[in-house]
Structure 1
Amino acid sequence: MASVEVSNVRKSFGSFEVIHGVSIRVEDGEFVILVGPSGCGKSTLLRMVAGLESITSGELRIDGRIVNDVPPKERDIAMVFQNYALYPQMTVAKNMSFSLELAKRPKDEIADKVNKAADILGLKPLLERYPRQLSGGQRQRVAMGRAIVRDPAVFLFDEPLSNLDAKLRVQMRAEIKALQQRLASTTIYVTHDQIEAMTMADKIVVLHDGEVEQIGTPLDLYDSPANLFVAGFIGSPAMNFISGRLEGGERPTLVTASGLKIPLAAAPPVGAGSEIVMGVRPEHVTLGGPLAIPAHVMVVEPTGYETQVIARLAGQDIVCVFRERLNDRPGDSIALTLEGPLHFFDAQTGHALAAN
């Protein structure tokens, strides 16, 4: 396996720059996920690592070697695509062995590698089938097997689960993570689904408009988002944001545009009168309590083990997640406490402010 280092990489299509000086280091054996909304540049960045897109400027190193101008076949990488890209006229075994046959590897070695990969992925009974005879999840396993037999230094995944249904995506998430841990492979994985990123990655790179917003472990990003974008992107349901003016005194208070005063158990280290944005995750909103503020129920969504409520507070809708089963209906009044941990951001820059 090998490390991957992206140093101040830029990518332009004509005069339009889509990647703006991105720097990322992927350690040997690490599972790194590039996540962000559509159009943020994550797939373009992955394709540059693969050698499928040229680099306008900056350096890309694989295992310490600069590979900017090295063709894809000489980079010792294997890529799993969103659409599987299987040869329909070939059996599963043939799809998996084809790259090794092109490389003129010995037949015994090819058979051994295909059988080992098939064992790992549970494909042994399917080796003589054709792609049209497989389910979506089975086809994705074949695509992964085709990558495994090459024994590459780096595995690249480009939104491999996008074409699967919700239940199968959950199953395949666990299988890919288990496979990566078993192989101890250096892996770069692209997705727009932050749940995939949170559940699978050793390290997450959050991209937005061709720039890195934050790099860290899943829980680092969840507990300490660097700015409003990361705070709103990581977490499902998303973090609630309430804008207002900070007032000091015996207990700090956030005064919203509607005039509602929200008492705060903690406050950022900025002066009274500062315009800030407070963030609170849906699961950190509780019912009742001495600091409760009035709200109105707009929507109640029971899911079984928890109840999701959309409530109108300070003139805006916020999402709350309760473990209790509620009897409230739309239009009812409830009292909510923004229990925290609370997050604070500068209203102008969007940067996080540490709470005292």
Structure 2
Amino acid sequence: MASVTIQNAVKRYGKVEVLHGVDAAIRDGEFVVLVGPSGCGKSTLLRMIAGLEDISGGAISIGGRVVNDLPPKERDISMVFQNYALYPHMTVAENMAFSMTLAGAPKAEKDRRVREAAEILGLTPLLERKPKELSGGQRQRVAMGRSIVRSPQVFLFDEPLSNLDAKLRVQMRSEIKALHRRLGTTMIYVTHDQVEAMTMADRIIVLQGGRVEQIGAPLELYDRPANSFVAQFIGSPAMNLFTTTVRNGQLLIDGVARTGIAAPAGLAEGCVVRIGKRPEEIALDAAGPLSANVVNIEPTGSETFVELVMNGKPISMVMRSRPDFGIGATCSLRLDQGSVHLFDGVSGLRI
């Protein structure tokens, strides 16, 4: 096991800079997820940790040792890719032992490690099968088993569940988290799926445009997002943002519609503030000050997702009860003062 420290890490491709001074400290034995939209630099950062991409500036340390100039094989890491990359002519056991075979490890040692990894992952009955005889989930377990056999200081996962169906993704999320609890090894996991990040991580690093937006525990990011980007990226459906103006100590939409939310002390008259409300925090109220039109209703069983439009802008609402209205209806809404998130209208930073 080992900590991973990233200090002012920069990545350039020619004159184009794609990572702009990333700083992060990943503790020994921690499960950290890198999350963000496509093109934010999360896979590039993971590949830099692995040594598959050169670092253009800054430093990356594993276990207190700067690894900028070390090749991947000397970093004592193991990486699980989106593509399983299994050798089709080899058995499960041979695939799992491949790195040890290349290293010239004794057969008894290889067999012992393969058996231990197979036991952890439930692969013991499949050791003599070829990859073509396995399901997608079983192939992903073999790829993880190949990493476990190496006993690395750090596991790196690059969107390993992207090729699996929805049900299997949920199962594999649970299995990877259980694997982490059992091994206690540092794990860094890349995904664009914020639900994966929320359910698996000890801490999440949110990236956008090659910069770190926020680092924190899943519920910390959900309850106190540092800015409007994190507020909308973490949580599904996304947080609603209402652009308001400070008028006489109140926050008004379009300078007229009352939100019922008082402006924080010290904000100047006319200042633009964005109010953030989670979909589950918006309430129907016949006497509510806001009016919106229903454009879609999605029942999921225990909850109902309702999409509305107010002044041409979309709003999402989650209802625990069954709605008594249909598409095209007009609803009155209330925004409670409680659980409100306020962001600067210019910088997007939390107020």
TM over 0.5: yes
Give the whole-Å Cα distance in 1 for the aligned partners of 2:94 and 2:219: 41
1:269 positional shift: 4.8
How far the C-alpha of 1:301 sits from its partner, in A, is: 1.3
Amino acid paired to 2:275: M
Partner of 2:245: 245
Contact preservation (8 Å) 2:251, 2:263:
no
Q: Which of 256, 271, 275 is equivalent to 2:272?
A: 275
Structure-2 residue corresponding to 1:352: 350
Q: Corresponding residue for 1:181?
A: 181
Q: Bigger CA drift: 332-341 or 314-323?
A: 332-341
Q: Identical aligned pairs, as a percentage? A: 59
- Kindly tell me: are residues 332 and 291 of structure 1, through their superposed partners in 2, closer, same or farther at Cα, counting changes over 3 Å? closer
Letter in 1 for 2:8: N
TM-score, normalisation: structure 2: 0.96
Aligned partner letter, 1:165: D
Q: Which residue of 276, 281, 286 maps to 1:284?
A: 281
Q: Secondary structure at the match of 2:181?
A: helix
Confirm or deny: 8 A CA contact 2:257 2:289 kept in the other structure.
no
Contact kept in structure 2, 1:247 and 1:255, CA below 8 Å: no
Correspondence for 2:253: 255
Which range moved further: 173-182 or 289-298?
Answer: 289-298
Please tell me whether the aligned partners of residues 244 and 251 of structure 2 are also in contact (alpha carbons under 8 angstroms).
no
Query: Is 1:303 the equivalent of 2:300?
Result: yes
Counterpart-to-counterpart distance in 2, 1:245 and 1:292: 16
CA contact (8 A) 2:226 2:349 kept: yes
Q: 3-state SS of the aligned residue for 1:85?
A: coil
Q: Which amino acid aligns with 1:324?
A: S
Q: What secondary structure, in the 3-state scheme, does the structure 2 residue paired with 1:352 have?
A: coil
- In structure 2, C-alpha distance between the alignment counterparts of 1:181 and 1:248, rounded to whole Å: 53
Aligned positions of 1:37-186 closer than 5 A: 37-186=37-186
Structure 2 residue 302 is the aligned partner of structure 1 residue 293: no
Residues 203 and 289 (structure 1), Cα distance of their counterparts in 2 relative to 1, 3 Å cut:
farther
Amino acid at match of 1:115: R
For 2:20, the equivalent position in structure 1 comes to 20
| Distance in 1 (alpha carbons) for counterparts of 2:63 and 2:278 | 40
Q: Which moved more, 1:82-91 or 1:336-345?
A: 336-345
User: Could you tell me how far apart the structure 2 residues matched to 1:219 and 1:143 are?
Assistant: 30
C-alpha separation in 2, matches of 1:70 and 1:13:
20
CA contact 1:9–1:21 (8 Å) conserved in 2: yes
Deviation at 1:292, TM superposition (A): 4.8
- Of 269-278 and 344-353, more deviation after overlay is shown by 269-278
Unaligned runs of 5+ in 2: none
Deviation at 1:268, TM superposition (A): 6.6
Paired with 2:131 and 2:224, the residues of 1 have a C-alpha distance of 44
Question: Aligned partners of 1:263, 1:64: CA distance in 2, in Å?
Answer: 52
Give, in whole Å, the separation in 2 of the partners of 1:52 and 1:301: 43
TM-score normalised per structure 1: 0.95
Q: Secondary structure at the match of 2:231?
A: helix
Contact 2:92 2:142 in 1 (8 A): yes
- TM-superposed deviation, 1:296: 2.2
Deviation at 1:295, TM superposition (A): 2.4
The equivalent residue for 2:34 is 34
Query: Residues 203-239 of structure 1, C-alpha deviation per residue, up to 9 Å, x if partnerless?
Result: 1000011110111110111111111111111100001
2:335 is matched with 338
Residue of structure 1 in register with 2:323 after alignment: 326
Structure 1 unaligned segments of length 5 or more: list them.
none
Per the alignment, residue 11 of structure 1 pairs with 11
Give the SS at the match of 2:236. coil
